[in-house]
Amino acid sequence: MVKLSGIVVLISGRGSNMESLASNVDVRAVICNVPEAAGVGIARGMGIECIVEPAMDGVASALDSLDPDLVCMAGFMRILPPDVTERHEVMNIHPSLLPLFPGLHAQRQAVRAGVAYSGCTVHMADAGVDTGRIILQDAVPVMPDDTEDTLSGRILLREHQTYTRAVRLFLSRNDHDAPESGAVFDDAGEAAESAVRRGGVAYLWRNGGTFAVSGNHPDNTPCVLSVPGDDAGVVAARLRNTVRW
Ligand code: GRF
């Protein structure tokens, strides 16, 4: 039997993250669980096979027969059963700086909480809701007059860039080590304290058994963020939850 591979994207709606991914990396197929979703037409218009499969069992069988190297959930509004996330490498994108504001209406939660910054997180999917290991985060400021819609639009632009970067990191994950730059700490909690103390947006990543903090984005490695207003405990939780490939 010929083994098909590549990237399969799961969608339920508008499909803008899928469109952005397919414009930047090779997407083998799209699976959509909502027949009338706008993303179906977008995928087919791009010449990508789009399987419409409302039932979760059907989604799971389609994934098993496609046997992709990577599954990217992009606005897929169902939780995958644990056996699916165990059989496949699955990523998700979420419109907040996890672990803050998981679940539905993340941007509304951020506006209501009055945070100064929010953003997006690409993470590996596990059996929980937005709990899997974090690959990349990116931040945007929340303006005093922001509504759920205006904040969503600002975050979405970053989602498109961040998802492509995360997929490229995954595809090249065995080819490079974490950069040796940044202040280095033995303990994730100390790294988080240092990031919060330095103020501004800081980038934190794992460097073997140590943790690095820098004001500059490290290329080629999974990283999480500390943003103004963050609690050091939240930042440490993010850092401990970075992906280990
Ligand atoms: C995005 O905000 C994504 O983070 C969330 O659902 C939305 C999907 O948008 N999970 P689109 O369908 O990719 O345009």
pLDDT at res. 3: 45
CA dihedral 168, 21, 84, 107 (to 10 degrees): 100
Residue numbers of the chain with a pLDDT score lower than 50:
1-4
Does residue 94 have an active-site annotation?
A: yes
231 CA to middle of ligand 1, Å?
27
Which of 27, 152, 156, 163 for mutating ligand 1's site (highest number of atoms within 8 Å of CB)? 156
Residue type, 38: A
Contact predicate 64/42, CB 8 Å: no
Global pTM value: 0.96
pLDDT at res. 2: 44
Query: How far apart, in whole angstroms, are the C-alpha atoms of residue 60 and residue 68?
Result: 12
Query: How far apart, in whole angstroms, are the C-alpha atoms of residue 137 and residue 242?
Result: 10
pLDDT at res. 4: 45
Other Cβ atoms closer than 10 A to 108 = 15
74 CA to middle of ligand 1, Å?
6
